[in-house]
Amino acid sequence: MKSIYLVLLLPLIISTGCRKKDMNDTEIPVVEASAGLITWSPSFPTGDDPLTITFDASRGNQGLKGISGNVYMHAGVITDKSTGASDWKYTKSSSFNVPDPASVLTPMGNGIYEITISPRAFFNVPAGEKIQKVAMVFRNADGTLVARNKDNSDIYLPITESGKLDVRFIDPEFEPLYTPAPAIQVQVVGQELNISAIASKAADLTLYLNGASIGTAANASSITANVKLTTVGSQIVRVVATSAGVTAETSFTFTLNGTVEVADLPANAKDGVTYINNGTSAIFNLYAPGKQFVYVIGELDDWKATPANFMKRTPDGTHWWVQLDNLDPDKEYTYQYWVDGTLKIADPYSEKVLDPSNDSSIPSTIYPSLKAYPTGKTSGIVSIMQGNQPTYNWKNASFVRPEPKNLLIYELHLRDFLGTHNYSTLKDTLNYLTRLGVSAIELMPIEEFEGNSSWGYNPSFYFAPDKYYGTKIALQQMIDECHTRGIAVIMDMVLNHSFGQSPMVQLYFDQATGKPTADNPWFNTDPMHPYNVGYDFNHESLATKYFVKNVVKFWMQQYKIDGFRFDLSKGFTQKNSGTTDAAVSTWGAYDASRIQIWKEYNTYMKSIDPNFYVILEHFAADTEEKELSDNGMMLWNNLNATFNEASMGYVANSDFSRAFYDKHGFTQSDKLVTYMESHDEERLMYKNLQYGNSAGTYNIKTLETALKRQALVAAFFFAVPGPKMIWQFGELGYDVSIDQNGRTGEKPILWDYSANANRKALYNIYSKLINLRKNNAVFATTDFQYNLIGSIKYIVLKSSTVNVVVTGNFDVVAKSMDVTFPASGTWYDYFTGATIDVSGTTYSTTLAPGEYHVYSSSPLK
């Protein structure tokens, strides 16, 4: 059967109500303006008179649906002095996280709340400054729950200048965006369309359809017409009001389309946008099974839905595509997909997007010449396409990566590592990391995520580097410079979940339940495991597997990334463990289906690049992790707790033997990435200073002693064979708590640590230990013994050329030591240059608290 749709793009709508008369005794509706999410009275409010705003918590993004506490309006005004939608003036509340008693709404029952204000007085707007809109969101007391429009944009209520003639359409509902947008209506051909409008005062009113009058009303405040629509094509409805020589008008457009064309996807079309004809044409391709119709809308057609950008459907009903021509290949174009007349989304395969809420906070020094958002044309995230994108010529296309067993990874978060938080400055800071001796950098997530200041574990666009850190070219330049210095670049990849900004979440989402729908091709309706955040990917879905493989291939090829650290890899399962704390142990149990998923992904990545690093944040049963390691994957090994107990001087719980791969049942040391700190743990130095042990004059809570304890644990940490990871500034004894400014909040960037002699000494010890590993193969040996229980700990490493013994006293009092050395004779202390004579095989001495030594059977380089 034919699929013919009427698609309406409607502006402001007013619902009718009681009436009053003007000075000419003409009836004027006294109505409550409706936007679904909010209603207000009077319908044409001025800035100086009382205005009642009613909020429906069940509408919009439903951020406060079912809330039990108070609801507050966080609001300001847009005036003639504002520069745009984000430039709120005279914001009422001083802090978003502190409730303002004057902004509390009155509950009316059934999730309805109301507040009455006089805008100029309420916001203290100076006389003479014109109020154009009231800008608002609604929130709970501490601002952790926020209600906005359905697309999570802010809410705007239009203000009419006192005495000015204004005119608006009545019905259907609209979204109260900065530029009012309709709640789109879809109707079949032949259906009658009622069109109504209302004026702010009596006027001569005329309704037009495509330029032809369809109704008039003299000296009236409202007008209604009824038309039957039969002509396919672009339509425009306009209302004009004239009073005393003054004219006001507004309009909406709609398109009446014919049958959805079914056609095979062109053979050369990839997902997203494929450029052909030297970039003068583009094929748009969206995977959206089960949808009724889709348009590409954007600046090519002034954001109008036209027959030319009406997308074809593939015979299997899964893909939508259209070819657009006459493009300038050197120009950036903004676009979106408009699905079923109700949803506008950016392209899931976008390599660059514009965000109306956050881009204004990105300095031009970090992202120069960023294209302006098409304000007034659309809402939500928009995609950017360009046929001839700037390209980067790689200097080190044939970079040879460090062997996994020799990896010394430096994990960093650009936001909290550099004040400028950008790739270009990181490129210029590599001397610091080169001197330290690291062989790899691990970047916390850099895919486009929600907001700007974030850890990045709330991703939404997986092919777009987040603009907060810089341009695509700047990222490629930084990676290339790392490769020039022999440093690999590992990317933190987040594919366990996505968040509500993701177009793949939005395409199949139930606003009423706040969950993905059951027919979502990528996401589970409910998460399958505890600790899930956002919306849980279904990695048994073919659509998800296809998407994941496209994501990893893109970064491997376009950015020459050397490896991925996969966040929350244990979540890649459809075995439902539940989401309670009690489910944690069940979740971590051996899961054969999860293993198969990871083997498939690993095989795919190794088919592209056999030497690619695949690192999992897994923390599952040893039997499962062993099987994954045998398949070539590397596993994160979190020893924060035991190393921290050792550094604080509490020896009873300080056994860090699981730093050794044999404790996990592994057969290879190069598959276990051990760390004392990562982004996710409390900092060792913070706990040393807060909770360190003491005895007599020896006190770990003092800075100098606490730093020396960091050197003590570092000597053992770096001596263990296998790849290692350190967290940024750990080499300088960073001592700011992970919870300062909130766990994921911004932390102080303390490069001035380098000027402190004691901290610089720790850096030098880290550097010496790292370079010791790099220059001496014994630190990759498989012939070792260790005793890491109690106060006196030691590690013995053997090779055909040299033997090494690391010893240390982790207590806060002196302890006698009896350690078996591999051979008698002269042994060399790496740090002091002194020698000791070992008679027989046992060396006995007394170690002061915190004292440690790295001995070798011959001098080490």
Give the model confidence (pLDDT) of 723-746 as tens digits: 999 999 999 999 999 999 999 999
pLDDT in tens, 671-708: 999 999 999 999 999 999 999 999 999 999 999 999 99
Side chain identity at residue 692, one-letter code: G
Q: Phi/psi at 705 (nearest 5 deg)?
A: -70, -40
The two structure tokens encoding residue 340: 């079923």
Tokens of 475: 């990222």
DSSP summary character for residue 667: S
3-class DSSP assignment, residue 62: coil
Q: Residue 29's pLDDT is what?
A: 41
Sequence-distant (6+) residues with CB within 8 A of 740 are 747, 748
Query: Which DSSP state fits 551?
Result: H
**What SS3 state is found at 474?**
helix
Omega of the bond prior to 356 within 30 degrees of 0, cis?
A: no
**Closest residue by Cα to residue 322 from 363, 370, 288:** 288
Take residue 244 and report the two structure tokens written for it.
């005393």
Residues 6+ apart with CB under 8 A from 757: none
Distance CA 553, CA 29 (A): 61
pLDDT band of residue 187 (cuts 50, 70, 90) is low
**Closest CA relative to residue 721, chosen from 647, 771, 668:** 668
CA atoms within 13 A on the CB side of 484: 12
With CA atoms as reference, report the closest residue to 212 among 201, 227, 198. Answer: 227
Sign for the pseudo-dihedral over CA of 451, 454, 455, 458: negative
747-780 pLDDT tens trace:
999 999 999 999 999 999 999 999 999 999 999 9
Helices 684-691 & 640-648 angle (0-180, nearest 10): 40
Q: Are strands 515-516 and 155-158 parallel, antiparallel or unpaired?
A: unpaired
The whole-angstrom distance between residue 285's C-alpha and the CA centroid of its chain comes to 24
Distance CA 712, CA 691 (A): 17
Is pLDDT at 253 greater than 80 in this prediction?
no
**Contact in structure between 422 and 498 (CB atoms under 8 Å):** no
pLDDT band at 10 (very low <50, low <70, confident <90, very high): very low
- Which pLDDT value is given to residue 230? 78
For residue 758, what are the contacts with CB-CB under 8 A and spacing of at least 6?
703, 704, 707, 733
pLDDT at residue 30 is higher than 50: no
Give Cα 245 distance to the centre of its chain.
53
Write down the pLDDT at residue 33: 57
* pLDDT of 240 above 60: yes
Per-residue pLDDT reduced to its tens digit, 69-122: 999 999 999 999 999 888 999 999 878 889 999 999 999 999 999 999 999 999
What is the rounded distance in angstroms from the CA atom of residue 380 to the CA atom of residue 373? 10
> Are 77 and 131 contacting, i.e. CB atoms less than 8 angstroms apart?
yes
Instruction: Kindly indicate the confidence band of residue 360, based on its pLDDT and cuts at 50, 70 and 90.
Output: very high
Helix (H) / strand (E) element for 708: namely: helix 703-719
The CATH class that applies to domain 6-256 reads mainly beta
**pLDDT greater than 50 at residue 137:** yes
Does the pLDDT of residue 381 top 90, yes or no?
yes
Three-state DSSP class for 569?
Answer: helix
- Residue-wise pLDDT for 297-328, tens only, equals 999 999 988 888 999 999 999 999 999 999 99
- CATH 2.60.40.10 region(s) of the chain? 6-256, 272-385
Amino acid 184: pLDDT: 53
User: Hey, how many other C-beta atoms are within 10 angstroms of the C-beta on 574?
Assistant: 16
Closest C-alpha among 638, 679, 728 to residue 445? 679
Peptide bond into 172 cis (omega under 30): yes
Q: What is the per-residue pLDDT for 659?
A: 98
Indicate whether 37 pLDDT > 60.
Answer: yes
What is the distance between the alpha carbons of residues 208 and 216, in angstroms, rounded to a whole number?
9
Residue 576: CB atoms within 10 Å: 14
Decide if 241 contacts 167 (C-beta within 8 A). yes
Residue 324 CB contacts under 8 Å (≥ 6 apart), including other chains: 281, 282, 284, 296, 300, 308, 309
Q: How far is CA 678 from CA 115, 645, 674, in A?
A: 47, 16, 10
Residue 371 pLDDT > 60, yes or no? yes
Q: Which fold has domain 778-856?
A: Immunoglobulin-like (2.60.40)
**Least confident span in 8-17, 250-259, 433-442, 674-683:** 8-17
265 or 181, which is more confident?
265
Amino acid (1-letter code) at residue 139? R
Looking at residue 186, its pLDDT comes to 52
Checking DSSP bridges between strand 488-493 and strand 440-443, what pairing results, if any?
parallel
Task: Return the CATH class of domain 404-777.
Answer: alpha beta
Residue range(s) occupied by CATH 3.20.20.80 in the chain: 404-777
pLDDT of residue 31: 46
- The DSSP H or E segment spanning 508 is none
Condensed to tens digits (0 to 9), the pLDDT of residues 430-474 reads: 999 999 999 999 999 999 999 999 999 999 999 999 999 999 999
Give the strand pairing for 672-675 and 634-638: parallel
pLDDT at position 629 over 70: yes
Element (H, E) at 68: none
> Which helix (DSSP H) or strand (DSSP E) does residue 578 occupy?
none
Q: What is the DSSP string of 221-257?
A: EEEEEEEE----EEEEEEEEEEETTEEEEEEEEEEE-
Higher model confidence: residue 183 or residue 647?
647
Q: At residue 252, does pLDDT exceed 90?
A: no
SS3 content of the chain, % helix, strand, coil (to 5): 20, 35, 45
Spatial CA neighbour of 137 closest among 105, 167, 169: 105
What whole-number distance in Å separates Cα of residue 670 and Cα of residue 658? 14
Q: At what angle do helices 703-719 and 640-648 cross, to 10 degrees?
A: 140
In what helix (H) or strand (E) does residue 769 lie, and over which residues does it extend? helix 757-775
- Number of neighbouring beta carbons within 10 Å of residue 284: 25
CA-based torsion, 684, 689, 693, 698: positive or negative: positive
Lowest mean pLDDT, pick from 12-16, 150-154, 396-400, 689-693: 12-16
Q: Looking at the chain, how many residues does it have?
A: 861
Please tell us whether the domain made up of 272-385 is placed in CATH 2.60.40.10.
yes
Q: The pTM is what?
A: 0.83
Under the phi-then-psi rule, with left for phi > 0, alpha for psi from -120 to 50, and beta for the rest, what region is 534? left
Give me the percent of the chain exceeding a pLDDT of 70: 94
Single-letter residue type at 38: I
Q: What percent of the chain has pLDDT over 90?
A: 84
How far apart are the C-alpha atoms of 803 and 30, rounded to whole Å? Answer: 92
Q: What letter represents residue 42's amino acid?
A: P
- Rounded-to-integer distance, Cα 854 and Cα 769, Å: 10
The CA–CA distances, whole Å, from 32 to 17, 61, 809 equal 7, 22, 77
User: Whole-angstrom distance between the N-terminal and C-terminal Cα of the chain?
Assistant: 80
Using 50, 70 and 90 to split pLDDT, how confident is the model at 170? confident
CA distance 670 to 685: 28
CA-only gyration radius of the chain, Å: 32
| Stronger pLDDT, 293 or 193, i.e. the higher one | 293
Report for 96-100, 375-379, 554-558: range of highest mean pLDDT: 554-558
Mean pLDDT for the chain overall: 92
The CA distance from 393 to 240, in Å, is 57
For residue 102, give Cα distances in angstroms to 65, 137, 249, 267, 398.
Answer: 22, 15, 37, 61, 64
Q: Note whether 401 and 488 are within 8 A (CB).
A: yes
pLDDT recorded at residue 619: 97
Residue 18 has pLDDT above 70, yes or no: no
